[in-house]
Chains A and B, each alone.
Chain A
Amino acid sequence: MTAKTKLVPVPSPNMIPDRDIDKRPILECINLGITFGGLKAVEDFNLAIGRTEIAGLIGPNGAGKTTVFNLLTKVYQPTRGTILLDGNDTHDMDTAHVNRAGIARTFQNIRLFQNLSVEDNVKVGMDTQMHYNMWSGIFRLPTYWKEEKTAHERALELLSIFHMADLAGVKAGSLPYGAQRRLEIVRALATNPSLLLLDEPAAGMNPSETAELMENIRKIRDTFQIAILLIEHDMNLVMNICEGICVLNFGRIIAKGTPEDIQANPAVIEAYLGKKKEA
């Protein structure tokens, strides 16, 4: 059940862009933590993300970044702390509920519906917004045709963000790697999220593809007015498009701030490059 009413310290809002400061953050993590056996994979994770913010989550390998995503999407149940999505506690929700409540994600190791067409992958993302039941489907009632037509049009519209509309009929598994990553983003968008989690969206992309991806991430934010939290190792991408950055090391936040702050932060440099040896 939901936790007892008590005052909780609102996480430092300094990461939220000015334009979102008057509105409730879309995501608030308060003292979030998970323990696997004796290992504290993530602890004391506090983060607030503005409603139209592009935020970055970075850190060395094994820092717990993907674990944070898995906590937010309830793939793992947090062992402590609270996640508020638009002010609502997600404690009782499972992965599917969290998605319906507004968090959509992509995966580090691509998880597409390999044997479905590109268009069907996107349409699966829209399933929770479709309403016709099994019988309308079997008897092909008018609601079936109406909703399928809308879904088809919307799928092509979303695919055209990444110029993939002409690939709609291709089997998802046969797409090139970069296109599969883009399709995952489109599928996540199709669920109408208010917060989009991207797990290494630029992995395996060449510099020109990455540049295009950056443009598209901005375009998605501007068009849909949603918040985006991304994990990425490509520092060029992170420093260019993220407004707020959160650095994780050994499961703990070691720095938060604007790209400029982060680049100058000695703790971050140490986490990435190691400590300077004393002479």
Chain B
Amino acid sequence: MANKLNTLNKTNRWNYITYLLVIIAYVILQVMSSTGSISSSLKGMLVPICAYVVMAVSLNLTVGVLGELSLGHAGFMSVGAFTGVTAAVSLQNLIPFAPLRLAVSMVVAALFAALAGFLIGIPVLRLKGDYLAIVTLAFGEIIKSIFNNLYVGLDESGFHFSLLSDTTDLSENGTLIIGGPMGIGSIQKISTFTAGFILVMITLVVVFHLVNSRAGRAIMAIRDNRIAAESVGLNITKYKMMAFVTSAALAGSAGALFAMNYSTIVANKFDFNTSILVLVFVVLGGLGNMLGSIIAAAALTILPEALREFSDYRMLVYAIVLILVMLATNNPTLKSFLARLKPGKRGEKEAA
């Protein structure tokens, strides 16, 4: 009995530690930036870090918790970025208060990304393993191509859409929001570090609460043994879809946050490399380990900036550092050393 409570608390304890660390990091960075003790380049990266943290945590839901390798996560970020900014532009007069406008656009972005996740999920979730990975990769590229060729304008008569070439025929005081390969220009930078922090917290609450509910148990059960999961009556498609769509929705809101931190955004920003980058965060942080994802996302977003002094060899050093970190974290000696440091671990072993 005592053992059970111990273990149950252990999961919850890590969740609380994660919340706490994120809050502490936010407070420290906020104080530092208000006293001007962090460099302007780091200050400019605070919002992207938050966006990448949300991306990593949401991808971890697909890869770590659901156990399906997705290589198209940037696609959902892209959907969120473009729909979110479009929403923000069209609501500019309706909601003059920027933080509220940002929040509404992030919700719109999440909804559209969720819809994209649902539509892509229908064919993709029927596949397994490598095939699923390849098809998600393809869908990521398809989304990129669509936004590279999509023109959306807004005037008094509403939205105008066109594909391949700009035939939106806007009236004189209409604005072209999405300009195909030019992406979206002159975005109002309404994303703030505080908004990013709130989004990270919401993401963590959603993911932790989902994982620690019947849905999360079912999702992990499907990951661990699909046949057994079917044999206890689980609706496999429903639960897979639930994880996939939630993951997509969170990535969408991260995309909106990310996009509104820059003055222009183009579809090519959300390409295969971005998907892989986020996947690296997840793998480096540990599958299913949300705190790990957060740390990896933050560290690896800062790293290229920190390596600026290596100038041309920057990405080379980045790769070497990445390999060394991966080797170090998988080192058995180091692992057993860390395991000995953790107080809870030993008790668990004795009980088992």
Contact = CB atoms under 8 A, between A and B. Distances in A.
Interface in B203-233: 205-206, 209-210, 213-218, 220-221, 223-225, 227-233
Contacts of A168: 4
B224 A114 contact: yes
Contacts of A140: 209
A120 interface: yes
A162 interface: no
Nearest to A74: B230
B5 interface: yes
Nearest to B226: A111
B204 to A, nearest CB: 12
A112 to B, nearest CB: 7
Interface stretch (B95-103, B166-174, B234-242): B234-242
A166 B1 contact: yes
B3 interface: yes
Interface size bucket, B side?
Answer: 35 or more
A99 B221 contact: no
A115 interface: yes
Nearest to A123: B217
A99 B236 CA distance: 13
Given A124-B221, A166-B3, A170-B352, A134 B228 contact: no
Contacts, number: 124
Given A116-B224, A134-B210, A170-B352, A124 B217 contact: yes
Contact of B214 (A100, A130, A170, A175): A130
B327 interface: no
Interface in A95-125: 95-97, 99-100, 104-105, 107, 111-117, 119-121, 123-125
A90 interface: no
Nearest to A130: B214
Contacts of B205: 138
Interface string A23-47: 0000000000000000000000000
Interface in B230-266: 230-236, 242, 246
Nearest to A75: B227
Contacts of A175: 352
A73 interface: yes
Contacts of B341: none
B221 A116 contact: yes
A100 B234 CA distance: 9
Contacts of A170: 3, 7, 348, 351-352
For B6, B246, B351, which residue has the most chain A Cβ atoms within 10 angstroms?
B351
A167 B351 CA distance: 8
A104 B352 contact: no
Given A115-B220, A132-B213, A136-B213, 15 more contacts: A95-B230, A96-B234, A96-B236, A97-B233, A99-B231, A112-B228, A117-B7, A124-B229, A128-B233, A130-B214, A138-B213, A151-B214, A169-B3, A170-B351, A191-B233
Interface of B: 1, 3-8, 205-206, 209-210, 213-218, 220-221, 223-225, 227-236, 242, 246, 348, 351-352
13 contacts: A73-B231, A111-B227, A113-B228, A113-B229, A115-B223, A125-B232, A134-B242, A137-B216, A138-B205, A148-B214, A167-B3, A169-B5, A169-B7
